[in-house]
Chain A
């Protein structure tokens, strides 16, 4: 699947190559593949538009001429990735997953941010956008997008993770397959508290309802403990939000399960009780022994090794094990790595600065002797919580775990031939 997408991108690059060749009037051999690509481009894209010449032309992917002897394309209005890099999300009907194994650090490029929406991506005219705040307030108010941007702004980096972020079941799984429903951005917006101050929230208020303006009119009840850090975000990684992340404005609750971070937000109703919406009762809840647990807001500490991972291959010798760890309950204070299938654990090096409720990069230098083994990581957060094993979670919650708030330690098997395979675990 990933390969298929990669091939598609290659075709696009071939089209760009052809454009590039035309524009620069570079003489030289044009391969048959390039010609085919060119024919495709001519059939699909009107290349002659005046705008097209300002779109950055890609570097040719075919046979590459000596870059010290070839003048490259000039400045452009919009940059793009190297044609040699093809990080892509992995979509299903309901979501798409971030390629964690392709990222070098903790910020997720906006176009690779995971998606989960309940009725597709809403298209909202920013000129018509309004946010209504009403209910237990002294003055119900509406704010345009321009209004929101006038208020004192606030920027922070934090992760955003779907409550259902964990897949297992087979060895041929990448970090993207296992935990791709987490991403990290630098978010900018107005603090919710700033807006609540403006409308005058009643002392008796204890919950609010956040409602999106997509076709699902998604709603979640948010208790007061979540209001202090909440942001009505309109910026993501320095630019406007991506449509998939709630353009033009969304609720952002750092460290809280993704679903509560209502996208395309249009209404906030201040109340003194939860509304018991579908997404907080029959969804985003999970069996714990003979009960069903609801209102699990903070994401529990977890980690994953992103290198080495399937389908990479490693060589005997020095390997820098790399990965990310995060917690919805503050900061990661420690990540431990085991290279002997969990028998012994050592502290990994954390990349500073370690941010609150943020993906934290860890590294651990390891000399592999070429034998079969398993490598694992476990996160420890500032509350003293240690990322549990699947066995510990099953013991605590029973076998009918459901799919939400499952944060077990995961393991990669290293085989003597250097291949790396995910270790699926069964709990039923």
Chain B
């Protein structure tokens, strides 16, 4: 490979050849050959208006599974709760994993994340007070999957009370604040103003 070629004309031809190869490579790069194929769900054959597979879901079936709660409060159930009731429930059902007060204990690793700190961005640990942008998420998440050993076992009132306790512990609502479907979506979280949607679309820039 590294054999020296002394002839001037040969070297000249080599330079031209390499140049041509380089140009060809660049051209193949730019002409769309590397563009990926668009994935399409549809066949080339004509599809019927409907395949007729599946069935209409009943309103009861939908309401049984539809437990999602949006930031505007859509989906929140009736019922209510407050921090005092939440404190009792927390000690009973949450403290074992999240710590006595939901705070990080120095020198001790909790089995689950700490939930309480202050409301200052960049303070550690990242908890409800400084990192959660929507209060409704707390209700949605706790009702879906907490406590870890008995997921889905909390009543709506219990979830309202635990949400109130955690928001209160993070100094976001007052201790006597009653949480319900009307008041919860109005709670403004300190971290909300920090969240921005990723606007990267590829390209050379590192962001």
Interface residues of A (CB under 8 A from B): 118-119, 132-134, 139-144, 147-148, 150-152, 154, 156, 191-194, 197-198, 209, 211, 215-217, 219, 228-229, 254, 266-267, 269, 271, 273, 275-278, 281-282, 285, 287-288, 290-298, 329-331, 333, 356-357, 381-386, 388, 392-393, 395-397, 400
Contact = CB atoms under 8 A, between A and B. Distances in A.
Contact of A292 (B67, B145, B194): B194
B149 to A, nearest CB: 10
Contacts of A382: 34-36
Contacts of A282: 126, 128, 131-133, 137
B136 interface: yes
Given A142-B61, A193-B41, A292 B206 contact: no
A217 B144 contact: yes
Contacts of B66: 134, 267, 269
A219 B144 contact: yes
Interface in B70-111: 70-72
A365 B21 CA distance: 21
Contacts, number: 175
A396 B200 CA distance: 12
A154 B197 CA distance: 31
B198 A293 contact: yes
Nearest to B36: A356
Interface string B6-17: 000000000000
Contact of A294 (B35, B141, B144, B195): B195
Interface string B105-149: 000000000000000011000101001111011001100110010
A141 B54 contact: yes
A147 B203 contact: no
Main secondary structure of the interface of B (DSSP, over half): loop
Nearest to B50: A198
Contacts of B148: 119
B57 A294 contact: no
Contacts of A197: 41, 47
Contacts of A291: 194-196
A142 B65 CA distance: 12
Contacts of A193: 41-42
A296 B35 contact: no
Contacts of B47: 152, 197
A209 B145 contact: no
B145 A216 contact: yes
A228 B131 CA distance: 32
A209 B137 CA distance: 14
Contact of B41 (A154, A273, A294): A154
B206 A393 contact: yes
Interface residues of B, number: 58
A285 B39 CA distance: 28
B21 to A, nearest CB: 13
Contacts of B198: 293-297
Lowest 8 CB-CB distances: which A-B pairs, in order? A383-B202, A191-B41, A193-B41, A356-B36, A278-B141, A143-B54, A217-B144, A296-B198
Contact of A331 (B36, B122, B191, B194): B36
A219 B34 contact: no
Nearest to B150: A215
B204 interface: yes
Nearest to B128: A282
A334 to B, nearest CB: 9
B151 to A, nearest CB: 5
B62 A140 contact: yes
Contacts of A276: 70-71, 133-134, 136-137
B18 interface: no
A384 to B, nearest CB: 5
Contact of B134 (A281, A331, A396): A281
Given A140-B62, A275-B70, A382-B36, A217 B57 contact: no
B131 to A, nearest CB: 6
B202 A296 contact: no
26 contacts: A119-B151, A142-B55, A142-B56, A147-B54, A152-B43, A191-B41, A193-B42, A198-B51, A215-B151, A217-B151, A273-B70, A273-B72, A275-B69, A275-B140, A278-B141, A291-B196, A292-B194, A294-B198, A356-B37, A383-B201, A384-B203, A384-B204, A385-B204, A392-B206, A395-B206, A396-B207
Considering residues B29, B67, B137, which has the most beta carbons from chain A within 10 angstroms of its beta carbon? Answer: B137
A109 to B, nearest CB: 25
Contacts of A156: 39
B172 interface: no
A356 B37 CA distance: 8
Nearest to B49: A197
B29 to A, nearest CB: 7
